Structure 1
Amino acid sequence: MSAPAFAARPASSRQLAGTGTLLRFALRRDRVMIPVWVGVNALMVLSMPNTLEGLYGTPAERADLAGRMAANSSLRAMVGPVLGDSLGALTAWRVGVYAGALAAVVGLLVVVRHTRDEEESGRQELVASGMVGRRASLTAALLAAAVANGVLALLVTAGLAGQGAAGALAFGLGIAGVGMVFATTAAIVAQLTESARLARGLTAAALGSAFVLRAAGDSATDDGSSPLTWASPLGWLTNLRAFAGERWWVLGLFAGAVLVQGAVAYALAGRRDLGMSFLPSRPGPAAGRLGSAGALAWRLQRGGVLGWSTGFLLAGLVYGAMAEGAADLVGDNEGTREIFRRMGGQSGLTDAFLAAMAGVLGLVAALYVVASVLRLHGEETSGRAEPVLAGAVGRLRWAAGHLAVAFGGTVLLMLLAGAGLALGHGEQVGPLLAACLVQVPAVWVIGGVAVLLYGLAPGAATGAWGVAGAVLLIGWVGPALDVPRAVLDLSPFGHLPKLPGGDMEWSPVLVLTALAAALVAAGLAGLRRRDMTT
């Protein structure tokens, strides 16, 4: 298109010029991340009806479960209230909150990546020098998030249609609605901050606050009627009442929030200069205080470590407090007991529950280590690594600083998780710390895979998210589906001893630690030999 033709366009059209091209580019860049996370989320939801049918096959058993959950405030805080006893209603109860949260995470990651990340790296300035509208990048980012959430809604609706078409449609739209609410929240935050890292952190904090509000409201009432529940988009998903007398008007809350937040983001985007923000970063001290590459890595990642640490401590406290209530969840159902045994070992029910929760926290820690390792990739592609490496800092020394934060941070997270479990449970301090720390070698293996991909094939480094997602899916859904042992063994977590309650086995721990060390060494060898930014 010629410049005169571009200038002759109406102002509203010029603002969005190039949106289609940027959208295709965004979807191409996210061709791994979006399918993996949408697939993991959809499989988690769609696997649940068959699992629940195997555990609670009769209406009487399902009604008994609903009655027990109505009387257990701690479990309601974690997964929400049970609003019906059909398989569809129990599916919405069991995975609705977490499916909505995962959709929100994908939405915020996609939007921040294609807005603030692009501006921070300088690529957006290059794009904007062409015939690209002022709001085209923001529109393309929101459309990419809408595509991801739309595909997820279609998969959930189609997969659960057998449980009731109306409920499946409501549930799918509700999950997508949560994802888009936080995508537009991220769009606003991206206008306010100069740092993509801070934008992700603030939006994640908003998601965490929404979870806490819903948890507080659901622990107080057994029908989702608390004002605190209504104050959270995750609570809206509960009050949509999929498969339990749908409240279609609740979808209007999602639509209204998306439209209002989207309008605010568009207004802010039109009132600032490219690369600037409404909350500028504070200038650093006049005299530098960073004396090493490791100190710089810690300075860059300390906010993330603090956020993850707080989350793990709180999660440990909540799971520890739930341990005694595990009997209410299980009741006399032998199938549920067997799932906990597969996840947490053959010990007593309480120990098996605690071991299963330690394993879940280990799976989540794998996401932290991937994000922390891939900070190396972000520093390289943004050009910030080049000035550091131009001085008296070698590649291995530079990488070692970030890897120390990634792998050492994993130990810190699991220590805090173990402390939280012990404080919440009120006993077993040593065994629970051991149960969490034994997860570390498996987490390190996932981190080692990320280092290997970054060192040998930086273009495929984001594939580490796919590995982490696959491991999360195996560990989370595999035991419930009773998948073959050979599939569970594909995950490094499948080889760990089940603590507390089980016997400590050092062989798999040492083997996994050695494997992680070998992967890191191979990745660093590749980094040392290859050209940077290639």
Structure 2
Amino acid sequence: MSTLTVPLAGTFGLARLALRRDRLMMPLWVLVVGGIVAGGVGSLESLYGTEATREQLAASMNANSSLRSLYGPVFSDSLGGLAAWRFGVLAATLAAVMSLLVVVRHTREEEETGRQELLSAGAVGRRAPLTAALLAALLANTAVALIVTAGLARLGAGGALALGLAVGGTGMLFAATAAIVAQLTESARLAKGLTGAVLGLAFVLRAAGDAGTAGGSSALTWLSPVGWAEHVRAYGGERWWVLLLIAGAVLAQTGLAYVLTGRRDVGMSFLPARPGPAEGRLATAGGLAWRLQRGGLLGWSLGFLVVGLVFGGMVEGAADIVGDNAQAQQIFERMGGQSALTDAFLATMVGLFGMMAGLFVVGSVLRLHSEETSGRAEPLLANALGRLRWASGHLAVAFGGAVLIMALAAVGLSASYGRDFAGILGAALAQLPAVWVLGGLAVLLWGAYPKAAPAAWGAAGLTLLLGWIGPALNLPQAVLDLSPFSHLPKLPGPDMSWTPLAVLTGLATALTTAGLWRLRRRDVAC
């Protein structure tokens, strides 16, 4: 029987292949997303162990529009309600990012590299690759939902299940969105970017809606799938019917994706790439690298500027976050240095921007890896173009782009805060040596061990995890010191020290140099 008449032939074989290829990345994502919720409950319990402190926190958060825009309103002052408030939106957003990466990786990216065409020459149905990708995403989101439910079950099984289903359901919703976008574009990077833009728009709509309402429902929030997860109201009088809304959106989008994938050929798209000019305009390797990476850099730049504006508006309300809670003040000081609370809050925000910039640098450096494995680098290097010249163009965008996005984050923070531009800019730029260390590690892994290059994502994720929730979990300092960001001076503040900046810059230089030296001595795409 022809695979045309059995459109799902080979689905489980492709699903097993997808799970094998993601045997490191997917469990890491699942543990991070689920662990943020399950592990963060302990920190909330230690900080707000009494009913009075929880009531004070809930009242303060609901009265602060800036904080509502970031975390959403507090629907219940129970410990479970605070956990859903503090981690629910974050976990749902991260689950969405995980899901879009998984689906695009096993659909459009497979077609772009030509691997799907080889697989489709066998007994593989037309819709099998899409089904396998969605099954992989379903498995990952189910695991996240189970971890969240198990981690919060002691606080109330009903609320734990509601939050777990909301987080996992949001992930599947954006998996289905990515499945549609993957049919529309020819580029995996564009598919990720467009789906990420949809997620960003959903987050902005939710933030705008929550900022305008203290505790009720906003039309803007209901327009956002991330807002739907919030309105499940785990531990705050669960609205189980909202989960049906999420499930309906998943089914509708999945059906549309199946219709689209059945009406196009492998490797084609409904929005084909525009043809280039008749005569080439790129004269240098650096120009080509800029052309390939400028879209991603623009997206990161706008994102850092906008988020900086949001965080800057929260500075004046920093005291509301901790109130008179001495333990919360200690955590902020541990994350942001021993200084005034406002400076500690700013240092914490700048540090988070730095860790996020590490993700940008790693992704930009690993563009070299994708260019190599896709076969696009080999024709370039077959001409009078040396490997170092080819790589230097991408590295200039990666390391120089980090300077740009951190400066824009400082512009956003200071513009919204309304003061101390020089101090905030200096604090933002002081994060760069640690950011460059992550970039240098990515260069070393790619140059010396190209098959292990994706492990650079694990290093960047580890630093983000240690910096984000490590202090709240009261991890030992030796563990926190695994992150290069823990060695930076805490700015703005009085404890400026140039020695760690110089050491980290030297380390980044050494890692980058070692990676490029090894690149010159290995075979391409080996």
Bucket of the pairwise TM-score, normalised by the shorter protein: over 0.9
Aligned mates of 1:467, 1:40 — CA distance in 2: 13
Deviations along 1:346-400, one digit per CA (max 9) or x if unpaired, are: 1111111001000011111111111111111111111111111111111111111
Q: Secondary structure at the match of 1:47?
A: helix
Q: Which runs of 5+ in 1 are unaligned?
A: 1-5
Are residue 92 (structure 1) and residue 84 (structure 2) matched? yes
Aligned mates of 1:40, 1:367 — CA distance in 2: 15
Aligned mates of 1:395, 1:468 — CA distance in 2: 26
Aligned mates of 2:216, 2:179 — CA distance in 1: 29
For 1:47, which of 24, 39, 42 is the aligned residue?
39
What TM-score comes out, normalization by structure 1 length? 0.97
Aligned mates of 1:258, 1:350 — CA distance in 2: 42
1:262 maps to what in 2? 254
Aligned residue type for 1:244: G
1:446 maps to what in 2? 438
2:386 maps to what in 1? 394
C-alpha contact (below 8 Å) 2:4/2:126 kept by paired residues: no
1:57 maps to what in 2? 49
2:112 maps to what in 1? 120
Q: Secondary structure at the match of 1:271?
A: coil
Aligned mates of 1:135, 1:335 — CA distance in 2: 54
1:3 maps to what in 2? none
Aligned residue type for 1:62: R
Aligned residue type for 1:321: G
Aligned residue type for 1:16: L
Aligned residue type for 1:216: A
Aligned mates of 1:261, 1:98 — CA distance in 2: 23
Runs of 4+ in 1 over 4 A off after TM superposition: none
Shift of 1:36: 1.2
Aligned residue type for 1:125: E
- Residues 306/192 of structure 1: CA separation in 2 closer, same or farther (3 Å cut): same
Are residue 463 (structure 1) and residue 461 (structure 2) matched? no
1:437 maps to what in 2? 429
2:123 maps to what in 1? 131
Aligned residue type for 1:75: L
Aligned mates of 2:8, 2:525 — CA distance in 1: 31
For 1:422, which of 410, 414, 428 is the aligned residue?
414
1:253 maps to what in 2? 245
Aligned residue type for 1:172: G
C-alpha contact (below 8 Å) 1:192/1:279 kept by paired residues: yes
Are residue 282 (structure 1) and residue 270 (structure 2) matched? no
Shift of 1:95: 1.1
1:203 maps to what in 2? 195
Name which of structure 1's ranges 505-514 and 216-225 shifts more when overlaid on structure 2.
216-225
Aligned mates of 2:4, 2:461 — CA distance in 1: 44
Aligned mates of 1:223, 1:24 — CA distance in 2: 45
Aligned mates of 1:386, 1:339 — CA distance in 2: 50
Q: Secondary structure at the match of 2:169?
A: helix
Q: Secondary structure at the match of 1:459?
A: helix
C-alpha contact (below 8 Å) 1:217/1:224 kept by paired residues: no
Are residue 353 (structure 1) and residue 345 (structure 2) matched? yes
Shift of 1:224: 4.6
Shift of 1:26: 0.7
Shift of 1:223: 2.4
C-alpha contact (below 8 Å) 1:318/1:424 kept by paired residues: yes
Are residue 15 (structure 1) and residue 7 (structure 2) matched? yes
Shift of 1:10: 8.9
Aligned-residue identity in percent: 66
Q: Secondary structure at the match of 1:529?
A: coil
- Residues 224/282 of structure 1: CA separation in 2 closer, same or farther (3 Å cut): farther
1:144 maps to what in 2? 136
Aligned mates of 1:262, 1:277 — CA distance in 2: 17
2:501 maps to what in 1? 509
What TM-score comes out, normalization by structure 2 length? 0.99
C-alpha contact (below 8 Å) 1:224/1:235 kept by paired residues: no
Aligned residue type for 2:170: V
- Residues 452/224 of structure 1: CA separation in 2 closer, same or farther (3 Å cut): farther
Q: Secondary structure at the match of 1:15?
A: coil
Aligned mates of 1:473, 1:181 — CA distance in 2: 25
Deviations along 1:138-181, one digit per CA (max 9) or x if unpaired, are: 11111111111111111111111111111111111110111111
Are residue 304 (structure 1) and residue 276 (structure 2) matched? no
Aligned mates of 2:54, 2:135 — CA distance in 1: 40
C-alpha contact (below 8 Å) 1:320/1:423 kept by paired residues: yes
Shift of 1:44: 1.2
C-alpha contact (below 8 Å) 2:141/2:171 kept by paired residues: yes
Aligned mates of 1:88, 1:455 — CA distance in 2: 47
Aligned residue type for 1:436: A
Aligned mates of 2:49, 2:98 — CA distance in 1: 34
Shift of 1:222: 2.1
Q: Secondary structure at the match of 1:225?
A: coil
Are residue 382 (structure 1) and residue 374 (structure 2) matched? yes
C-alpha contact (below 8 Å) 1:187/1:262 kept by paired residues: yes
For 1:330, which of 322, 326, 331 is the aligned residue?
322
Aligned mates of 2:147, 2:62 — CA distance in 1: 30
Shift of 1:460: 1.1
Aligned mates of 1:45, 1:415 — CA distance in 2: 31
Shift of 1:136: 0.6
Aligned residue type for 1:110: V
Shift of 1:510: 0.5
Aligned residue type for 2:135: L
Are residue 239 (structure 1) and residue 228 (structure 2) matched? no
For 2:336, which of 338, 344, 360 is the aligned residue?
344
Aligned residue type for 1:466: G
Aligned residue type for 1:43: G
Q: Please give the root-mean-square deviation of Cα atoms over the aligned residues, in Å.
A: 1.0
Aligned mates of 2:208, 2:412 — CA distance in 1: 19
Q: Secondary structure at the match of 1:222?
A: coil
Name which of structure 1's ranges 219-228 and 368-377 shifts more when overlaid on structure 2.
219-228
Deviations along 1:494-519, one digit per CA (max 9) or x if unpaired, are: 00000002321110001001101111
Shift of 1:286: 1.1
Shift of 1:220: 1.0
Aligned mates of 1:338, 1:86 — CA distance in 2: 23
- Residues 328/399 of structure 1: CA separation in 2 closer, same or farther (3 Å cut): same
Aligned mates of 1:463, 1:144 — CA distance in 2: 20
Aligned mates of 2:497, 2:4 — CA distance in 1: 70
C-alpha contact (below 8 Å) 1:40/1:470 kept by paired residues: no
Aligned mates of 1:524, 1:29 — CA distance in 2: 27
Deviations along 1:16-65, one digit per CA (max 9) or x if unpaired, are: 11111111111111111111121111221112211111111100110111
1:526 maps to what in 2? 518
1:404 maps to what in 2? 396
1:315 maps to what in 2? 307
Aligned mates of 1:146, 1:502 — CA distance in 2: 49
C-alpha contact (below 8 Å) 2:39/2:151 kept by paired residues: no
For 1:293, which of 285, 288, 291 is the aligned residue?
285
For 1:182, which of 150, 174, 179 is the aligned residue?
174
Aligned residue type for 2:201: S
C-alpha contact (below 8 Å) 1:191/1:269 kept by paired residues: yes
2:221 maps to what in 1? 229
2:61 maps to what in 1? 69
2:148 maps to what in 1? 156
C-alpha contact (below 8 Å) 2:35/2:147 kept by paired residues: no
